[in-house]
Structure 1
Amino acid sequence: MLKLQLPFWMQKGELKKLNNAAQHFWDRVEKWLQVPLSRFDLMTCDLIMVDHIAWERKITRLNGEVELIYRKRVNYAFINAQDAGMNRGIYAIFERLGVPIFDIKEHQPGKDWDVITIEMSDDILSNNKTLVNKLIQTYGATCRRYEYSVTSTSNHYVAIGDMSWSHQTCIATIQTQ
């Protein structure tokens, strides 16, 4: 932000008022110039602009896709393309879009060499099935086959305490005389 500064002998009276008016005017001009620049922030700009840039980057919006994830896909398209094809990159792509995955397993015993297993939670996979498929289709390695492994977590609680038992045996006998 531009700060207009007058020499100390001019900081009185009408010159001070003129300085304040000029400062106010240039502050407004700066705000006017920042408006078009704010249109290019894909996370906050109008959705029409996001659609235009998505078309340039060959990204189509999925049916029922959340707007925030769509904006992130368009915003991170170039970085995601750089990370494509590598396990480390797949982790980063999913993390950027807010879709957590647990593990990526390659070269598993008993499976073909080109099968990659992506392990994620059941609710993430069921809620984002089309998104996950599209991400793997777009950014996965082309010479690999992908399969999903679902992992569900559950919390079990076990109470621990002292348990004791006292035992007494009473035997009744008949006395004969």
Structure 2
Amino acid sequence: MQLPFWFSKEQISALAAAASQWFAKLQEWALWPAMQNNPETCAEAVLNLIAWQRDIDRFKGEPLSLFRKRVKYAYINAKEAGSVVGFKRIFMRLGIGYVEIEERMDGVDWDVVDIQLSDTQLAENQQLLTVLIQHYGRTCRRYRWKIITPVPFYVRAGEFNNTYGYDHAAVSPCTVGVRAEEFSNDFVMS
């Protein structure tokens, strides 16, 4: 089907390019509100509103990427903060890494909680760790940092040759009616 038109080919191409740009801009404007719901991609001003809604405050010197992660995981972190496993997951989600948490140790007050982590984890995330303990830590608990220093060691498996042997002695089975003197010296070594 051919439609009549009064433009030349160059004019039609220019009109198509302008219309394409206009509709791309309209699509961007229409999708902008939907993209603002995601804390990883939203504008920083909108991120601050979402953070306020989720009770997350940005601490001094916090990188924007870390702040976005804390806002993104605020609900699940608040839900899991009451258990040891959940507290470990919070540290993993926010990029601190693996930590060990011990509670109710023998010889220590019941309200002391030890958080064991490496010295690099503590040095690189000191402010974040403090904020996490203040925000998600349990009421009436005291938290202590314990430094774990990994020490590499090597175990070498080797073979050493031992020879061993054993001797087995067996007595031939007794039969009914045979006297014991007949097989008194009859034994087999193998």
**Structure 1 length-normalised TM:** 0.69
Maintained 8 Å contact 1:119/1:151? yes
Structure 2 CA distance for partners of 1:33 and 1:139, relative to 1, 3 Å? same
- Return the alpha-carbon distance in structure 2 between the equivalents of residues 31 and 66 of structure 1: 27
Q: Does 2:128 correspond to 1:150? A: no
| 1:86–1:140 Cα contact (<8 Å) kept | no
115, 122, 139: which one aligns with 2:112: 115
1:24-56, Cα deviation, whole Å (9 max, x unpaired):
79x745444222211222112221211122122
2: CA distance, partners of 1:116 / 1:153: 21
Asked whether the equivalents of residues 101 and 118 of structure 1 are also in contact (C-alpha less than 8 Å), the reply is no
Paired residues in the alignment total 145
The 1-side partners of 2:98 and 2:126 are apart by 13
Q: Given the alignment of the two structures, is residue 105 of structure 1 paired with residue 74 of structure 2, yes or no?
A: no
- Following TM superposition, the consecutive aligned residue runs of length 4 or more in structure 1 with deviations greater than 6 angstroms are 158-161
Which residue is equivalent to 2:71?
74
Give the percent of matched residue pairs that are identical in Structure 1 and Structure 2: 40
Partners of 2:150 and 2:107 lie apart in 1 by: 25
2:161 paired residue number: none
Q: Work out whether residues 120 and 149 of structure 1, in 8 Å CA contact, stay in contact via their aligned partners in 2.
A: yes
Amino acid at match of 2:148: T
Cα displacement (A) at 1:58: 2.4
After superposition, the CA RMSD in angstroms is 2.9
Q: Using CA pairs below 8 Å that are at least 6 residues apart, which structure has the higher relative contact order?
A: 1
Could you give the per-residue CA deviations for residues 12-34 of structure 1, whole angstroms, max 9, x where no partner exists? 555xxxxxx8xx79x74544422
Q: Tell me: CA distance 1:119–1:13, structure 2 relative to 1, closer, same or farther (3 Å).
A: farther
Displacement of 1:160: 9.8
Alignment of 1:157-176 (within 5 A): none
1:101/1:119 contact within 8 Å kept? no
Taking a change above 3 Å as real, the CA distance of residues 31 and 48 of structure 1, as seen in their structure-2 partners, is closer
Q: Which moved more, 1:90-99 or 1:52-61?
A: 52-61
Q: Secondary structure at the match of 1:35?
A: helix
Q: Distance in 2 between matches of 1:149 and 1:89?
A: 19
Asked if 2 retains the 8 angstrom alpha-carbon contact of 1:50 and 1:71, the reply is yes
CA distance in 1, matches of 2:60, 2:28: 37
Partner of 1:86: 83
In 1, Cα distance between the equivalents of 2:157 and 2:105?
Answer: 39
Which residue identity does 1:96 align to in structure 2?
R
- Give unpaired runs (5+ residues) of structure 2: 4-15, 159-190
- Distance in 1 separating the partners of 2:91 and 2:154: 31
Whether contact under 8 Å (1:101, 1:121) holds in the other structure is no
Q: Note closer, same or farther for the CA distance 1:32–1:13 as it changes in structure 2 (3 Å cut).
A: farther
TM-score, with normalisation over the residues of structure 2? 0.65
- Pick from 113, 123, 128 the counterpart of residue 126 of structure 1: 123
Whichever residue aligns with residue 138 of structure 2, its letter is: A
* Structure 2 SS opposite 1:101: coil
Q: State which of 58, 68, 72 in structure 1 corresponds to 2:55.
A: 58
